[in-house]
């Protein structure tokens, strides 16, 4: 499986957490997945990241679950590319 970068930042993680509206968090560990799931987030494969982002409401953003990386800030554009 090829990786992906968002706005030039490589995404580490095979899944992401999604609230069904606009909050998107890259899960970088199994612990991230479990914690996000316990808060009611859907856990989706990273291959669906761009599609999910494009179909989210206008407030969408992408960060990692631990909030130490911001791939797309709210209101910014997102550029997806394979790595």
- Model confidence over 62-83: pLDDT tens digits? 999 999 999 999 989 999 999 8
Domain count, the chain: 1
- For residue 83, tell me if it sits in a domain: no
Distance from C-alpha of 59 to C-alpha of 78, rounded to nearest angstrom: 12
Instruction: Give the domain extent around 27.
Output: 13-75
- For residue 31, tell me if it sits in a domain: yes
- For residue 63, tell me if it sits in a domain: yes
* End-to-end Cα separation, the chain, in angstroms: 10
- For residue 25, tell me if it sits in a domain: yes
- For residue 53, tell me if it sits in a domain: yes
Question: For 14-30, what is each residue's pLDDT tens digit?
Answer: 999 999 999 999 999 99
pLDDT at residue 77, rounded to an integer: 93
- For residue 82, tell me if it sits in a domain: no
């Amino acid at each position: 499986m090829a990786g992906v970068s968002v706005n030039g930042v490589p995404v580490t993680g095979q899944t992401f957490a999604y609230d069904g509206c606009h909050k998107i968090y890259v899960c970088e560990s199994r612990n991230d997945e479990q914690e996000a799931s316990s808060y009611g987030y859907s856990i989706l494969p990273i291959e669906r990241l761009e599609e999910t982002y494009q179909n989210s409401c206008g407030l969408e953003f992408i960060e990692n679950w631990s909030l130490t990386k911001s791939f797309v800030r709210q209101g910014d554009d997102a550029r997806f590319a394979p790595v």
